[in-house]
Amino acid sequence: MKTANFSWALLTFLLNSTKFNLQVGVFFQPLNSLLVISVLMRRHTLRKPNARSLAIESLLLSRKPNSFIEATVHSLQNKYKLPDSERRLLEELSFGVTRRRLTLSYIISNFLKKPIKKLQPTVEFALLTGAYQLLFLSKIPPYAAINETVKSIKEKSPHSAALVNAVLHRIHESIEEKTSDKPPSLLDPQKTILTPNGPTILKIPILPHPSETIKHLTVQFSVTEFFVEKLRSQFSEEQTQEILMSSITPPPFTIRANTLKTSRTELKKSLIKSAIKVEDGKHPSALIIKFPGDITQLRQFQEGLFYVQDESAMMVVDALSLQKGLCILDACAAPGGKTSAIAELLRNTGFLVAVDNDFKRLLAMKENLTRLGAVASLLCADTTLLSKTLNTLFDRVLLDAPCSNSGVLRRRLEARYRITQENLNSLTALQKRLLDGVAPLTKPGGILLYATCSILKDENEKRVEEFLKDHPEFTMGKKRLGLPKTNGHDGFFFSQLVRNN
């Protein structure tokens, strides 16, 4: 009896000890095994991983096929019910590392004896996470960035902690200044890492020499060489720099007031009452807000008073020239942002059909439309074969085609690494099939609006030119290319294709 009481007391002490770990079980062989297991499980469930450990985990999980860092991070946030401060840090680390992975890998490789890709993935992502904090986050003290990252790797790969510690210390020692207010044009390009908050200046030249223009821009902005070559062939040096700078700058948080339920003025008043910072966007339905928490928990979101959407998407919908009572087809509709905007402008009149080939995305879209009070008929179908499925002609057809996302790289974090010749060829072939698939569904006198969130000619102007050659029954209407702005809207393209009477 005394032995049992002593064992309980010792176990209680160990439960409250920060050094307690799963290996403690070997010291209590005489105890009932179920007791030990239950105690160990209880201790394990009490330990909640911190943002740095979860950042490494999210980066590992996002390597799986068809996985995306944003969805992975939100899944972990919900799983562990993180407080707002930890939620924000997890997002900053996971999204930041993904956005600047090539830059970080290039710098880290200068302090390794072998290529970073030959390290275990856990060690690689620990180094990337630690280096990101040191090079890009001025509010986190270097000692905290290093020590906490080393603690995180000790949990996952104890034998690698010394390597991570040594490399991160060497990176820290190589930094001369962070968030400098010195103009980048006056700095040594090989020692300068551009960031949205001001450059980080290194003590030693590490980045490629600017005479190697393509390589320098690829490393500096963490994009493919192919993408840099495309930009330089299309745009001026100044425009190329602005496009690339916008790709590494977190976007503004823009929402569209749902005019089926409120107005922008009333929504703005409501958000201000909820202590949310808000300002008017340039589009008459747009508001730009600053909210550090989970947007879906806001009362205004749950009541369907707004939809999260960039102003570029609002401008595309405006180009449909909508009127009440029209018959509209949204041909690649999920997740429903533009569909809901169309329903608002129609005031839920007329006939709106939204098509997508992904049933799960359509289910999520249905939830969005229900929340917003927007009415549309949803159809799961292959848009390339749509003219064989539907026997209705539409006044307006919106084809927001799948694309390289080259105009929204700051939002589609992984897309920057997928812009290659092979992928572009595949996308342009799909875009042609989609245009051919919906063209017969446009009424004479109606508008087929072709839109992308790309800024590349191959997906935009060239696609339209080829379409008009193949379809002489259409003529060109309005068209617009909007380049991404560091402090403004995303990049986009649209072209009105008017079917002749």
- Supply the Cα-derived Rg of the chain in whole angstroms: 27
- Residue whose entry in the numeric block shows the structure tokens 């680390």: 93
SS3 string, 360-397, reads HHHHHHHHHHHHHCCCCEEEECCHHHHHHHCCCCEEEE
Cβ pair 376, 343 in contact under 8 A: yes
Is 453 marked active-site?
A: yes
- Selection from 275, 313, 267 nearest residue 291 by Cα: 275
Instruction: Give the 3-state secondary structure of 57-81.
Output: HHHHHCCCCCCCHHHHHHHHHHHHC
Closest CA to 438 of 309, 285, 333: 333
In a 3-state reduction of DSSP, which class is residue 115? coil
Q: Residue 491 in contact with residue 411, Cβ under 8 Å? A: no
DSSP 262-308: --HHHHHHHHHHTT-EEEE-SSTTEEEEE--S-GGGSHHHHTT-EEE
Q: How far apart are CA 351 and CA 328, in angstroms?
A: 6
Contact in structure between 450 and 401 (CB atoms under 8 Å): yes
HSE value, Cβ hemisphere, 13 Å, CA-based, for 435: 29
Per annotation, catalytic residue among 327, 332, 380, 453 = 453
DSSP, collapsed to helix, strand or coil, labels residue 348 as: coil
Distance (Å, rounded) from C-alpha 219 to C-alpha 167? 20
Burial class of 340 by CB neighbour count within 10 A (0 to 12, 13 to 18, 19+): buried
In the three-class reduction of DSSP (H, G, I as helix; E, B as strand; rest coil), residue 224 is classed as: coil
Q: How many CB atoms lie within 10 A of CB 450?
A: 24
83 cis-preceded (ω within 30 degrees of 0): no
Provide CB contacts within 8 A for 464, sequence distance 6+: 450, 476, 479, 495, 497
Are residues 184 and 84 in contact, defined by beta-carbon separation less than 8 angstroms?
A: no
- Which residue numbers are catalytic? 453
